[in-house]
Structure 1
Amino acid sequence: MEFSDQVKQLRQQMGLTQEQFALKVNVTRQAVSNWENNRNLPDIETLIVISQVFHISLDELILGGTDMNKMTEKLIQDGSEGRRAKMNMVSTLTGAFLMILGLACFLIKANSVEYIDKQGILHENFYLLPIGFAFLFTGFLVLLTTTTCFLVRKLREK
């Protein structure tokens, strides 16, 4: 059963008007009307209040039976989008951090002292150059991959 049908049926079983139900749930009558006409869906906090008003479990309210309805699909999509956004943020921060490490290697190399000791051996921290390039390149690849995946996903949604 669709969420819209379920809310309407439960509201009518309790003998409530849309206005009375809206007051119990702390929303407007228009919001209830939109839910019942399948134009909009409530957020998770409102779902909890609705389940308490109707004295039913969230599972029963959201799933409405064995078939997936629009509410279930919305919750799955919202969770998926949240995880995807979090992963994009972590990837972007990782790429930026790697690039900053690469630049730090170059700064340390540029400001370090190079000298020749009594035995004629040159002391130089040359290893910082390839490490710096590796960090910069890896950070750039991470940012490029993250951006490409994001843009491809956006194009597929259109």
Structure 2
Amino acid sequence: MTKIFCGCTGYLIDKSGEICDSAEERTDVMEIGVKLKEARIKSGLTQENVAEKIQVSRQTISNWENEKSFPDIVNVIKLSDLYNISLDQLLKGDEAMIEHLEKSTNIVKSNEKLIAAIIANVLLMILFILFNGLIIENHYLIMGSSILGITATCMLFYQIIKKL
């Protein structure tokens, strides 16, 4: 039977116009926010209760349920345990959430960028000190070296702030 997903209500509607209202019938197309809200309500918990149990704010729970932001992998696991729902059921079919988790958990790639920025910053500062002592009259070279040093430092700060 063909079913159509209604983006306004989050329900699947079959050709006869009937709403498929059980979560099992529509987990493949539901977004993470709808799944989290349904699981919370099914568990008989309020947003405040959930927030206390996983140690986040009530506003954070609301943002996750309204898909203004996504939980990190640690909180997804906590929610899965709290709601007694498998990670597969919770995450399956939500490409945006899966992409968010892939980006946020790719520590190796993030650390490589940070190390590269630190090395570039140190090398440019060494070069700046050497060139500054050798060619005092060439103001353009000193200015260019300064700009490169500032750029490298900004890249470094950007990577550090991004990790926070």
TM-score normalised per structure 2: 0.47
Larger fraction in helix:
1
**Higher radius of gyration, 1 or 2:** 1
TM-score, normalised on structure 1?
Answer: 0.49
Higher relative contact order (CA 8 A, sep 6+): 1
